[in-house]
Structure 1
């Protein structure tokens, strides 16, 4: 889905001090778009999962055929969460969700299937009772959820896929090899900005796996617009343990797209690795971040057994800095930006604004990002 053939040679005009100023308080959450809800392996058959996305209570599960479903997690009778009930097998092979308060049962399409307290011939039409249903898609080992502005809104596209998705020979879908999850105590905007920020790594993520704050080096990266975002064009990386493990003539490409997806592709002549970071807002002040990894590099199958403590630490470092930032953001101060390290933040905010404006006006999205060369020290 990404065109990486274009080149960038002009210095970026994007991030000048005072340009496109903003304050600490986050704006509206991005809607009418697909979010990563969880991995497919996390969504077990026969169980109900209590979730909240963009402030909306949601119960998730799998139907009688194993397909994922999601309903509003509020019984329309007395507002008890349906996730506190149970999944039931129906005679037709389907599944229903039973409310724990009065036993009302709802099909996975949201329709009411049964009200135990009704007696025969009482004039009550079950077809008029429905629980809101959310559109889900299972793709590449992930469960995606579509969060519309209008409760009746339906997706006009499928969830995104990445050109450098790692697939084994004969596979049409990538398989998740590794996942790590954490919560970030911040608004979606600040979580995404942290995800994009190239200058925080040697200070927040102090580790021998990354360059330290004492050995900063100047970097120059070429960017081009891509569908719903932008791409750091394919390049030869600086030395790093992960690159040395894969070996060969390594090329790296990093893509960002709305609402909060960062995909880093690492490839040589034979093998590939894709690290997907996905941010999904739980509410206005809390987000989930998942680091999802795909690969066909045999040695990584062994290394992943000891990698979890390191990736856990990495995400907890992000969680810690977001919590610290929240202390200052509570005073709603004006925030600063500098060239070029903060340009990706500026691009994200322009992409978000254009996405919302295009949806409100009923027109096609027009990517506001232009090709650019960015330079910083990290």
Structure 2
């Protein structure tokens, strides 16, 4: 990526057509891949009741171990299929049995069996289907595609991050650590909180982070990247986390729609990638996963004591989102300032352009321009 010294003001100032910053979130982002869960969370032989973007979904693995997702409603009487059971079929496949009348559905959504039917009754099982969702298993994650049109299919694979940590001989990365929490807020506010560079010393009170009494000015160089923007590679200030890895550390942070923040930390020999993924459950609730990959040997020991810290970190985010929700319930006008709020402005422009491009059937055009941003944190 090309470095830049363009002033931030040109990129962060409101443009014609920019939406006013409102307390109430807009439509959820669709026609895009979301992180549903890690691959290890989706165990064979079990059904998982989920909800994404307000849609009830049941997930599982088929007879070959491949992940599948169906609308979690039996078309007969609307009972959740996730309340039923997974059955082994004579052909080696799997079916999901509804707990009400025993209707069975294959992982492709087709109806395989209705116990109450008798021979000779004119009823075509092939006409009965449950909606199927596209899934992809990649780098230890299960991704789900959430289209606007129920029949919509993805035209590309889920994103691969530029600095994904792969061990020698691997083509797929392995998740080393994951922590999950729920945020009681709209997708927009969850993503804005994820991007916000100024909240850390005030929300995340920890010896691992700089306190609000020792703020320092920072200058970061940004450039547009696929479906988002990137804080260009730089040498970080001192930190306990960076010191654990050691060596000549370089940090790069990539943001992608719909709500993915990938922080790469590398030295001459080892790498670490921390992925924060936000997935809306509905319009007022999101889940966030902190997913980590590394090949740094010492981190295999550190992770044994890291969970209380990551749990506290996410609970601090959840607390501030809950507090913000109290104020947002009055639908007040909100403010934005340079340069700490510029990433929020970029996210909203990216979202608007993504949704416009999909609605108009055209290619996405990244609206972000190279810029240098400065703030104190």
* TM-score (ref. length: structure 2): 0.97
Partner of 1:315 in structure 2? 314
Q: How far apart in 1 are the matches of 2:93 and 2:17?
A: 58
Separation of aligned partners in 1, 2:8 and 2:320 = 33
The structural deviation recorded for 1:21 is: 2.2
> Contact 1:33/1:147 (CA < 8 Å) preserved in 2?
yes
Secondary structure at 1:179's aligned position in 2? strand
CA deviations 1:356-377 (Å, max 9, x no partner) are 0000000000000000000000
Paired position in structure 1 for 2:8: 8
Against the structure 1 CA distance between its residues 79 and 349, is the aligned structure 2 distance closer, same or farther, given a 3 Å change threshold? same
Deviation at 1:19, TM superposition (A): 7.1
Q: CA deviation at 1:202?
A: 0.1
Residue in structure 2 matched with residue 179 of structure 1 by the alignment: 178
Structure 1 stretches (4+) deviating beyond 4 angstroms? 1-10, 15-20
In 2: Cα distance, 1:104 partner to 1:293 partner: 40
**Shift in Å at residue 84 of structure 1?**
0.1
Gaps of 5+ in 2: none
CA distance in 2, matches of 1:7, 1:341: 14
Maintained 8 Å contact 2:3/2:221: no
Gaps of 5+ in 1: none
1:7, 1:222 within 8 Å by CA — same for their partners in 2?
no
SS for the counterpart of 1:365 is coil
Q: Distance in 2 between matches of 1:169 and 1:114?
A: 47
CA RMSD, 1 decimal: 2.2
1:181/1:17 Cα in 2 relative to 1: closer, same or farther (>3 Å)?
farther
After the TM superposition, which residues 238-249 of structure 1 pair with which residues of structure 2 at under 5 Å, given as runs?
Answer: 238-249=237-248
After superposition, the C-alpha distances for 1:25-59 in whole angstroms (9 at most, x for unaligned) are 11000000000000000000000000000000000
Output the CA distance in 1 between the equivalents of 2:338 and 2:19. 13
CA-CA distance at 1:4 after TM superposition: 11
Partner deviation per Cα, 1:205-238 (whole Å, 9 max, x = no partner) = 0111011000000000000000000000000000
Question: Structure 1 residues 203 and 162 mapped into 2: Cα distance closer, same or farther (>3 Å)?
Answer: same
- Tell me the CA shift for residue 163 of structure 1: 1.3
> What residue is the counterpart of 1:146 in the other structure?
145
TM-superposed deviation, 1:6: 12
Distance, in Å, in 2 between the alignment partners of 1:151 and 1:345 is: 30
Q: Give the distance between the partners of 2:297 and 2:335, measured in 1 at CA.
A: 44
